[in-house]
Amino acid sequence: MRRFFQRLSINNNPGWVFILTGLGLILLLGLPLLTLDWRAIGKNFFNSVLSPTALTALKLSLLTSTSTVLVAIATGTPLAYILARWKFRGKNALELLVDLPVVLPPSVAGLALLIAFGRTGVFGVWLNALGITLPFTTVAVMMAQTFVSAPLFVGAAREGFAAVDKQIEEAALVEGANEWQVFRFIMFPLAGRAFLAGLILTWARALGEFGATILFAGNLEGKTQTMPLAIYLGFETYLDVAIALSVMLMVVSVVLLGLM
């Protein structure tokens, strides 16, 4: 705090310009979140959190987001390694493909998933012939979450791999290690921190997924109604439940960010 005020008073240093202009954003971010907490305090909070709808949604959200993270690690790690270390034609296009879902609106993701993998979708028709229908299932929820959140993991892991000193890698190769051993004993441990960051970001994003889920997976309690969907529907009927769920998601997010 003293350093803060020292900064203000240092001769000719216009520190207050930074503070005053930044204040607008601080208020915009802080006020709504504080209001949410303030509104949640009350005797209804625990009743709302423990209501069957809220608990079912929480359970489903934890199940789907954790599965999404596992899928992201399993499929994203090799992809991140390839992007960080290999050189090949079409690499730029591949990077673009992986980055795109991060900036696309989730409604676009949901629509794309639906017209590709829906029952009458381009690829969904084949799946349907095999007896697999995806829309309105818990698997669809996970697909929607993976679509929007796994690229965050790939991005973080790619940065992590790229930051590993090439000399260490080369030394290992000179010593006779094969590519798998380099990956297993050098790259993976050294990129650990970036991995953790990517993992948490992915989990948080999957936990908050709404737009793609409601379009591709629909809304059915216990099957596809995750916490954000329950909040949206609660907002319409039981504001208390919606607020309680929102605060719960916020607390989880704060804990996740604290882990990073």
Q: Shortest gap between Cβ of 216 and other proteins (angstroms)?
A: 9
Distance CA 62, CA 54 (A): 12
The CA-based angle 232-134-219, given to 5 degrees, is 15
Neighbours of 110 (CB within 10 A): 23
Q: Is 237 in the site for other proteins (CB under 8 A)?
A: yes
| Binding characters for other proteins, 38-77, by CB under 8 A (x = yes) | ----------------------------------------
Q: Which is nearer to other proteins, 188 or 232 (CB)?
A: 232
Contact 146, 207 (CB under 8 A): no
Site for other proteins in 202-231 (CB under 8 A): 214, 217-221, 224
Considering only residues 235, 240, 253, 256, which one is a binding residue for other proteins as defined by CB under 8 A?
235
Distance CA 260, CA 248 (A): 19
Distance CA 154, CA 156 (A): 6
Distance CA 133, CA 125 (A): 9
Considering only residues 82, 85, 232, 250, which one is a binding residue for other proteins as defined by CB under 8 A?
232
Q: Which ranges constitute the DSSP H helices of 104-137?
A: 106-117, 124-129
Q: Shortest gap between Cβ of 38 and other proteins (angstroms)?
A: 15
CA 225 from centre of chain:
18
Distance CA 170, CA 128 (A): 49
Q: Which stretch binds other proteins (CB under 8 A): 43-51, 78-86, 165-173, 235-243?
A: 235-243
Distance CA 123, CA 210 (A): 23
Considering only residues 23, 34, 116, 239, which one is a binding residue for other proteins as defined by CB under 8 A?
239
Q: Is 233 in the site for other proteins (CB under 8 A)?
A: yes
Q: Shortest gap between Cβ of 16 and other proteins (angstroms)?
A: 25
Q: Which is nearer to other proteins, 85 or 119 (CB)?
A: 119
Residues that bind other proteins (CB under 8 A): 114-115, 118-120, 133, 135-136, 214, 217-221, 224, 232-233, 235-237, 239
